[in-house]
Amino acid sequence: MLKLALSQYSSAGEKTQNQDSYGARLPDSDLLAYKGASVVLADGISSSQVSHIASQVAVKQFLDDYYCTSDTLSVPRAANQVIQAINRWLYGQTKQSPYAGEQDKGYVCTFSALVFKHQRVYWFHVGDARIYRVRHGQLELLTRDHRQYAGGQQHYLANALGIANTVGVDSDSCALSVDDCFVLLTDGVYEHVDDQTICGLVAQRTGNGSDTAKNLVETAFRNGSDDNLTAQVVWVESVSTDDGVIAADELPIPAVMEAGDEIDDYRILRTLYNSARSHVYLAQHKGSQQQVVLKAPSVEMAHHSRHLEKCCLEEWIMRRIHSEYVAKAPAPMGARSAFYTLSEFVPGITLTQWIMDNPNRDMEDNRRVIEQVARGLMALHRRDVLHQDVRPENIMINADGNAILIDMGAASVGTMNEMGGHDDGVPGTAMYAAPEYFLGQAGSEASDLFSLAVLSYYLLSDRYPYGTDVAKCTSVAAQHKLSYRSVLDPNRSIPFWLDATLKKALHPNPLKRYSTLSEFIYDLRHPNPAYVSRNRPPLLERNPVAFWQVTSGVLLCITLWLLAERFL
């Protein structure tokens, strides 16, 4: 497990009020694994009488709110969400106060934070406090001072929390090593203690090092500091050696089951699916009578730890996503004697079967399915989760006709990717996978968008936009040669502007697709003026039958006119 030691100390110095604020949270067990440990420092500005409130709020709210964010979010995404929320609150307080319009008198403070998680440390910085790293006796400054100099030594803060409605946050990360030391200092300390002294005081750590931060503050005070003084020192005593949070339970793999068999509190009703990797059953809880999907890995996969880990992850994700368009996981109902996972049973048919049952579906039917799948994906993306296997077999149409995303076996979770993720190759099914996966690149929300666009194209045409060519393109040069095949068909009523919408969503370069799923969904229903005005194809492409009918009619008229001229 990750193990840290911490020393913190703050003093008002020569001033009557200490506007600095600091804090830390070093959790244990699952919270440490999922969210990490946090160390936070904020410094008020002397021109403001309420700046101490801003610094206190910034530290307290970060330590409270960061640990309330979803544990599927990556550290940068979760931390930035919280920092922006704190900044907006401080800015709003200033606007409603007598100091509106006077930035240097409002609820303004600097902000610096470290988040230690698994084998990495992340830092977030606004203002002119500093974060250092000491490694092998060498001091390295990790942050830059957000100061604007007005001539000579005169300067003012160019960036701080509470100055504007949004704030630019410097952030980065690095790998941890045992015996690394991180030091957070306000300007009242670092302006009066040189680098060599900082290294020396950190190296003189005795016992648990609790006096180190106090020694830094007192040294700066003796050297003439007339400001508030705060120091925090964090030593890395051990680094987690696990390569992921969710590990396979040390439980036996159950044997293949049949209808009537029982396992723990569940009775098997029937087999839903069998493969070389897993067995999926419809089961019923004997107490509540609730029907669930019980999924057990095959015996052959018993020693494939990554496969077992992904099985655990699937249930873990579904328990944290709250959307009517994503399958859920039932609440735990007792201990398990064998290795299996549970998910919600969605009565209905797969989208594959729905497509076969509705060959004459209209445009509105297709749009409704696409929009509902998109809402499910957006719910995942808000939690920093990528589905990575959007295809008809992984979408259920329930009794109400709604589309439900199932099967998170290929999903990617931001928080897990920070923990030294594995290269699992191309996730999902090749016909629906985004081109970047075949280059060995990590997926993004644009990758799920591509898969949804392939599904949309297939619903409209029963064809694929690039056939089987995407899977063959394992270089950027090869992908540049991919040729999109128009979805327009003379036998189907498809608006011509919809073809341009799909072409954009299916671009091989993820940076040239729609930036959000909502934009794509909007353009599926509303003609984009750019496509209507510039990309309207000629009649021959839009409706070849009508073109030749018109042409034949014109030729007939000309022939009749010529005959009339000759014989009359």
Structure tokens at 498: 């919809």
- Average of pLDDT values for 297-315? 82
Give the ranges where 223-362 is alpha helix by DSSP (H).
305-318, 351-357
Q: What is the pLDDT of residues 31-53, one digit of tens each?
A: 888 899 999 999 999 888 999 99
Q: Which of 430, 431, 433 is nearest to 444 (CA)?
A: 433
What number of other Cβ atoms are within 10 A of residue 163's Cβ? Answer: 22
What number of other Cβ atoms are within 10 A of residue 384's Cβ? Answer: 22
- Average of pLDDT values for 19-32? 90
CB–CB of 411/342 below 8 Å? no
Question: How high does pLDDT run on average in the chain?
Answer: 89
CB–CB of 279/306 below 8 Å? no
**pLDDT higher at 537 or 331:** 331
**pLDDT higher at 224 or 209:** 224
| pLDDT higher than 80, residue 401 | yes
**pLDDT higher at 304 or 150:** 304
| pLDDT higher than 50, residue 74 | yes
Can you give the pLDDT at residue 243?
Answer: 43
Cα-Cα-Cα-Cα dihedral sign, residues 452, 271, 314, 327: positive
Can you give the pLDDT at residue 413?
Answer: 86
Distance (Å, rounded) from C-alpha 554 to C-alpha 568? 21
Can you give the pLDDT at residue 543?
Answer: 63
Can you give the pLDDT at residue 218?
Answer: 95
| Amino acid at residue number 355 | I
Distance (Å, rounded) from C-alpha 146 to C-alpha 110? 9
CB–CB of 280/346 below 8 Å? no
pLDDT category of residue 221 using cuts at 50, 70 and 90: very high
Distance (Å, rounded) from C-alpha 90 to C-alpha 79? 17
pLDDT category of residue 245 using cuts at 50, 70 and 90: very low
Distance (Å, rounded) from C-alpha 41 to C-alpha 111? 6
Distance (Å, rounded) from C-alpha 261 to C-alpha 108? 65
What number of other Cβ atoms are within 10 A of residue 514's Cβ? Answer: 20
Beta-ladder partners of 295:
280, 341
Can you give the pLDDT at residue 414?
Answer: 79
**Residue 435 DSSP SS3:** helix
Can you give the pLDDT at residue 518?
Answer: 95
Question: Could you tell me the CA-to-CA distances from 103 to 83, 96, 348, 485 in Å, in that order?
Answer: 18, 13, 59, 56
Q: What is the pLDDT of residues 123-140, one digit of tens each?
A: 999 999 999 999 999 999
Element (H, E) at 378: helix 363-382
Can you give the pLDDT at residue 247?
Answer: 43
**pLDDT higher at 32 or 103:** 32
Question: Could you tell me the CA-to-CA distances from 61 to 37, 79, 106 in Å, in that order?
Answer: 15, 11, 18
CA angle 278, 251, 310 (to 5 degrees): 45
| pLDDT higher than 90, residue 105 | no
- Average of pLDDT values for 226-231? 95
Q: What is the pLDDT of residues 530-544, one digit of tens each?
A: 776 555 556 556 566
User: What is the percent of the chain where pLDDT is above 90?
Assistant: 64
- Average of pLDDT values for 312-332? 88
DSSP-derived secondary structure for 499-525: HHHHHHHT-SSGGGS-SSHHHHHHHHH
Q: What is residue 95's DSSP assignment?
A: H
**pLDDT higher at 370 or 336:** 370
Can you give the pLDDT at residue 419?
Answer: 54
CB–CB of 319/297 below 8 Å? no
Q: What is the pLDDT of residues 83-97, one digit of tens each?
A: 999 999 999 999 988
Q: What is the pLDDT of residues 453-494, one digit of tens each?
A: 999 999 999 999 999 999 999 999 999 999 999 999 888 888
Can you give the pLDDT at residue 565?
Answer: 74
Question: Could you tell me the CA-to-CA distances from 410 to 300, 312, 394 in Å, in that order?
Answer: 19, 12, 11
| C-alpha dihedral, 407 to 409 to 413 to 417, nearest 10° | -170
Distance (Å, rounded) from C-alpha 543 to C-alpha 566? 35
Measure the N-to-C terminal CA separation of the chain; round to a whole number of Å. 103
Can you give the pLDDT at residue 535?
Answer: 52
